[in-house]
Amino acid sequence: MNTYSWIQLGFYFVVLVALVKPLGSYMAKVYQGERTFLDPVLAPVERFVYHISGINPRSEMTWKIYAVAMLMLNILGLIVVYLLQRLQGILPLNPQGLGAVSPDSAWNTAVSFTSNTNWQGYGGETTMSYLTQMLGMNVQNFVSAATGMAVLVALIRGIVRHTAKEIGNFWVDMTRSVLYILLPLSLVLALALVSQGVVQTFSQYQTVSLIQPSAGNEAQVIAVGPAASQIAIKQLGTNGGGFFGVNSAHPFENPTPLSNLIEMLSILLIPAALCYTYGKMVGDTRQGWALSAAMTVIFVMVLGLAVWSEQRCNPVFAAIGIDQTQTNINPGGNMEGKEVRFGIVNSALWATATTAASNGSVNSMHDSYMPLGGLVPMWLMQLGEIIYGGVGSGLYGMLAFVIIAVFVSGLMVGRTPEYLGKKIEAYEMKMASIMILVPVVVVLVGTAVAVISPAGKAMIFNPSAHGFSEVLYAFSSAGNNNGSAFAGLGANTPFYNTALGIAMLFARYWLAIPTLAIAGSLVRKKKVPESAGTLPTHTPLFIAWLIGVIIIVGALSFLPALALGPIVEHLMIFR
Amino acid sequence: MKNKLRPAITLLALLTLFTGVIYPLVVTGLAQVVFPHQANGSIIIVDGKVYGSELIGQQFDNPKFFWGRPSAVGYNAAASSGSNYGPTNPALLEAVHARINALKAADPDNLLPIPVDLVTTSASGLDPHISVAAALYQVRRVASARGVSEAEIRSLVEKYTEGRQLGFLGEPRVNVLLLNLALDGIQ
């Protein structure tokens, strides 16, 4: 760690925090149906959408209807993405003449993009036509992100309203999320990225002759495409699915340190700002700041571990005289699978941010990280991606932990637990438990099945403990809708495509539906006036308690599995 | 259930139109007008001849050129990938040994320590840059292969060194393709 490392980390946090309040209060306006500065342009478009679709924006839904609407839109999206991949060979906008994607891969990818996971078993430039990327991936990047935000907003309404039934109109929340938040931000970001060198064209791949040609290697085919528009939303919507195979490590996807900074900011921007939106909507911004404080504390702790682990020397390399010392002309550290323009600190910061959120884009190859450097992203996913987390999904996952924390503390002092004036009872507790346990079961059972089945073992790339880490990482990623990978694992096989597809479906909808159920239950309850026995949920004490609950649940669930992978590998290197 | 189908279908169709058609077309249109060079791949064209992309590295193993990062895909810019070797994989150590041997064979008397980025593969397999240390390590070899003074080569390296962006972002680095083009007198 040199001065520049500290400056870059510090600058990242300062800019992020500075953006939270303006964007957060703007989003609160959007979801409360208030007027915004974009209304003159967007309000007519919004009315047009409702008119054509036969939506009455003033009629609201109970939680069950809200859930049905959400599922229908998502299932339709899944079918469209599947068909686009299967039929791309005969559809237009396919200058490279790419053929149909195999059924298992198409299923995996369709689930992956509708569930906001963006796990990619395929390499973008060798598999997907421009049409599939635009109408399939790009659209689901918006729709899946907006779905997460809609579910969160419905939950917030459940907390805020009392003795009511309805939690909002799903179609309206979707439309406003896309039109007022995701599209304008994406447009600005996409153009900023193009200015740095991200490609945006519909022409076919470029062929150039080489400066130093050799036998059988005289020309270079350079993949291009409409990348910037997709990259902007994949960063903002915590999607993470790259246009190119290596995602934001590709120089056309992330060409400069500045493009890297704004892509990294985009990962956490909306999830962090939604904490403020939350505080605003529940009428007490301290509640939002408290949650983001808990998130930030955990984030900074594990970020430190990741940067330290990657920047220190690999003893194996040190033994053969390789210079891994960080200086002003040498990035040093573990540069295997990292790009020179980013160096260590920007790679480790990205890896931490992308797994804290459910983004899953990468700018370095996590599979080549040092054991503890690889443990950090894995564990952040296993915590359920609630450290900022996915857009919407991160905060509703965090609120499940809040319910658990409030409930446990209530039991300790022998009072009925309550949160923001609502009694937390057995039903909410059951739903919150489902939300926390389902991903744990999916990850651990999936990993166990994979490492005892021949089809699962056959595709492991790295030997020994690291091979186990590859499988554990894959199921941690799919089982929490992240999408990043220890990419050595050959996951584009029927076994992994099917198994990980199922994991992604469970992780997404078995969290979203219980969330809506909690919303439906809370919205019916009376508001309990605050009393001397009420546990305040904005104090440092509560923040510390919440962090404790998260770490205990996360550590207890996954420490045994982590011991078999990264921890044992660490002990093998640093004896 | 059925009265939810119509909004679901039309809303998906409209969102597809907005986010899948209009949005990428608007971005493409603006990008092609405002930043045409970047939007089309930052292609290097000198006197009508195309030499590559500023952002995409190429394979170099001739001693008279600077070598870039090792690439897991041989700089195949239509199928990017990293090596994905874990830190304990014996194959990684073997590959690194082979790269050290190649560097030593091309410049046996070079006693400088080998910078780590020169013997490890990049994430994309297309990294256009090497660290300044990795460029300085190669100055001696390139100078003797070309029969020019080290000072001349070193000043060229300095010329093609990019500092941290805005003074503090990223790492100082050298663009290998641009540097090699300059060695051949193409600028």
Six token digits for residue A17 = 């925090």
pLDDT per residue over A420-440, tens digit each? 999 999 999 999 999 999 999
CB contact under 8 A, B62 and A134: no
Which residue stretches of A528-567 are H helix? Answer: 540-562
Residue A27 lies inside a defined structural domain of this protein:
yes
Residue in chain A closest to B72 (alpha carbons) equals A337
The answer on pLDDT for A313 being more than 90 is no
Six token digits for residue A11 = 């600058």
State the CB neighbour count (10 A cutoff) for residue A95.
14
Task: Identify the pLDDT of residue B1.
Answer: 57
* Structural domain count, chain A: 1
CB contact under 8 A, A230 and B24: yes
Residue A85 lies inside a defined structural domain of this protein:
yes
Report ipTM for this prediction. Answer: 0.96
Task: Identify the pLDDT of residue B2.
Answer: 62
pLDDT per residue over B17-28, tens digit each? 999 999 999 999
Residue A29 lies inside a defined structural domain of this protein:
yes
The H or E element containing residue B49 is strand B49-53
How far is residue A110's CA from residue A88's CA, in Å, rounded to a whole number?
Answer: 14
How far is residue A261's CA from residue A235's CA, in Å, rounded to a whole number?
Answer: 12
What beta strand segments (E) does A167-275 contain?
Answer: 206-214, 217-222
How far is residue A192's CA from residue A236's CA, in Å, rounded to a whole number?
Answer: 13
Residues 6 or more apart in contact with residue B171 via CB below 8 angstroms? A257, A331, A340, A341, A342, A343, B131, B164
Six token digits for residue A538 = 């904005």
Shortest distance between the Cα of B173 and any Cα of chain A, in A, equals 7
The answer on pLDDT for A553 being more than 80 is yes
CB contact under 8 A, A322 and B39: no
Q: Which domain holds residue A166?
A: 22-208+221-271
Strand-strand pairing, B114-115 and A322-323: parallel
Residue A559 lies inside a defined structural domain of this protein:
no
Q: CA triplet B57, B60, B63: central angle to 5 degrees? A: 145
Span between the terminal Cα atoms of chain B, in Å: 66
> Average of pLDDT values for A511-520?
97
Partners of residue A488 in chain B, C-beta under 8 Å: 84-86
Q: pLDDT over 90 for what percent of chain A?
A: 88
Residue A534 confidence class, pLDDT cut points 50, 70, 90: confident
Six token digits for residue B161 = 């060194």
List the single best residue of B9, B65, B71, B169 to mutate versus A (max A Cβ within 10 A). B169
**A241-266 exposure pattern, b = at least 16 Cβ within 10 A, e = fewer:** bbbbbbbbbbbbbbbbbbbbbbbbbb
Partners of residue A139 in chain B, C-beta under 8 Å: 12, 15-16, 19-20
Residue A396 lies inside a defined structural domain of this protein:
no
Closest Cβ–Cβ partner in A194, A196, A335 for B120? A335
- Which residue(s) pair with B50 in the sheet? B45
The H or E element containing residue B95 is helix B90-106
Give SS3 for B111: coil
Q: Is B141 at the interface with chain A, CB within 8 A?
A: no
> Average of pLDDT values for B152-167?
96
Give yes or no for a contact between B55 and A253, defined as CB atoms under 8 angstroms apart: no
The answer on pLDDT for B186 being more than 90 is no
CB contact under 8 A, B116 and A322: yes
The H or E element containing residue A228 is helix A227-236
Question: What are the counts of helices (DSSP H) followed by strands (DSSP E) for chain A?
Answer: 22, 5
The answer on pLDDT for A414 being more than 90 is no
Task: Identify the pLDDT of residue A294.
Answer: 97
Which of A94-98, A124-128, B27-31 tops mean pLDDT?
B27-31
How far is residue A328's CA from residue A338's CA, in Å, rounded to a whole number?
Answer: 17
Residue A320 confidence class, pLDDT cut points 50, 70, 90: confident
How far is residue A117's CA from residue B170's CA, in Å, rounded to a whole number?
Answer: 28
Residues 6 or more apart in contact with residue A348 via CB below 8 angstroms? A303, A306, A307, A309, A310, A311, A373
CB contact under 8 A, B51 and A252: no
Task: Identify the pLDDT of residue A533.
Answer: 79
Task: Identify the pLDDT of residue A214.
Answer: 83
Return phi, psi of residue A267, to 5°: -60, -50
CB contact under 8 A, B14 and A72: no
Task: Identify the pLDDT of residue A121.
Answer: 83
CB contact under 8 A, B39 and A200: yes
Q: What is the pTM of this model?
A: 0.96
Give SS3 for B129: strand
> Average of pLDDT values for A207-217?
87
Return phi, psi of residue A386, to 5°: -115, 0
CB contact under 8 A, A249 and B32: no
Which residue do the tokens 């960080």 mark? Answer: A326
Query: Number of A:B CB contacts under 8 A?
Result: 384
Closest Cβ–Cβ partner in B42, B119, B184 for A322? B119
Residue A196 lies inside a defined structural domain of this protein:
yes
